[in-house]
A and B are shown apart, each in its own frame.
Chain A
C-alpha cells in the first residue's frame, strides 16, 4: 500500500519568515495530494490540494509543489503569522481522495513572535 513520509516533525520559525514542509510518497499511482491543518482538539481542515496533472498551486500565502518523478510534494507558507501555528498533515490518494487518504505523521509548526 501507499506510504507517506513527512518531515520535519517539528518546525519553529520566526513570525514573518517562510516555512516549508516536505512529504514523499511511495505509490506512483497516487494522483491527489491534500494538505490539512489541525488545531488542538479540532478536526483536520483542508488548506490546499494538488492533483498529479499540476506541478504547483498557490493560494495567497500558501503554495504546494509536486514532483511526480521524485515522488515528493511540499507545502510552502510565506509571511508566517501566529495563527499559522498548528499541526500540518500531508496525504496522498490513488483514487482522487474519494476512496481514502494515506496521511503523513504530521508537522508541528510553531511561529515564534
Chain B
C-alpha cells in the first residue's frame, strides 16, 4: 500500500495560471479531504468528499474546485492562481467507520508569484 500519494511535491505558478494538485489513495477509503497550511496556522479544510460523486465545501473553499469521479482520486484545481494561494496543501483520507485514523499525504508546496 502506498497510502495517500500527492503530486507534485513542489510547484511554482504565475498569477492567473491554473493547475491541478493530484491526490490518490489505495486504501479504499470513502472519505477524502484537502487542507491548506499557512505559516503560524493550523491546517484549514478546503473541500471534502464522503464518496465518489459527492463533494462539499470546507472552511476556505474560494478559488478551488474539486471532483470525485472515483473512490481513489480526489484532485484539487486552482482555476486562476493568486499569491494568496501560496501555501502547503495536504490531502487526507479515512474510512467512514468511527475509530479510523485520518491519513495525510506528504504535502504539496505551492508558490504563486
> Which of B33, B42, B95 contacts A105 (CB under 8 A)?
B42
- Chain B 53-66 against A: per-residue CB contact (8 Å), 1 yes, 0 no? 00010110000000
- Identify the 8 closest CB pairs spanning chains A and B, nearest first: A103-B42, A100-B45, A43-B104, A98-B31, A96-B98, A103-B43, A100-B48, A105-B42
Binary contact track A74-113/B, C-beta < 8 Å → 1, others 0: 0000000000000001010000111111111110000000
Contact: A43 with B50, CB < 8 Å?
Answer: no
When A44-B43, A44-B90, A89-B42 are in contact, do A102 and B104 touch as well, CB less than 8 Å? Answer: no
A-side interface mostly: loop
- Contact check, A99 vs B42: say whether CB atoms are below 8 A apart: no
The answer to the question of B44 belonging to the interface, with a C-beta cut-off of 8 Å to chain A, is yes
Q: Which residues of A contact B (CB under 8 A)?
A: 1, 4, 6, 34, 42-46, 51, 89, 91, 96-106
Q: How far is the CA of A98 from the CA of B106 in the complex (A)?
A: 19
Measured CA separation A6–B40 after assembly (Å) = 12
Secondary structure of the B contact surface, majority rule: loop
Q: How many residues of B contact A (CB 8 A)?
A: 27
Contact check, B105 vs A43: say whether CB atoms are below 8 A apart: yes
Complex CA gap A97/B45 in Å reads: 12
Cα of A80 to Cα of B106 in the assembled complex, Å? 26
Q: Which of A44, A46, A51, A101 contacts B45 (CB 8 A)?
A: A101
Does residue B102 face the partner (Cβ distance < 8 Å to A)?
Answer: yes
**Nearest CB on A from B48, distance (A):** 5
B12: interface (CB < 8 Å): no
| Beta-carbon contact of B42 and A34 below 8 Å | no
A51, B98: Cβ atoms under 8 Å?
A: yes
- Whether the pair A99, B50 counts as a contact (CB closer than 8 A) is yes
Task: Give which listed residue, A1, A44, A89, A106, contacts B59 with CB less than 8 A.
Answer: A1
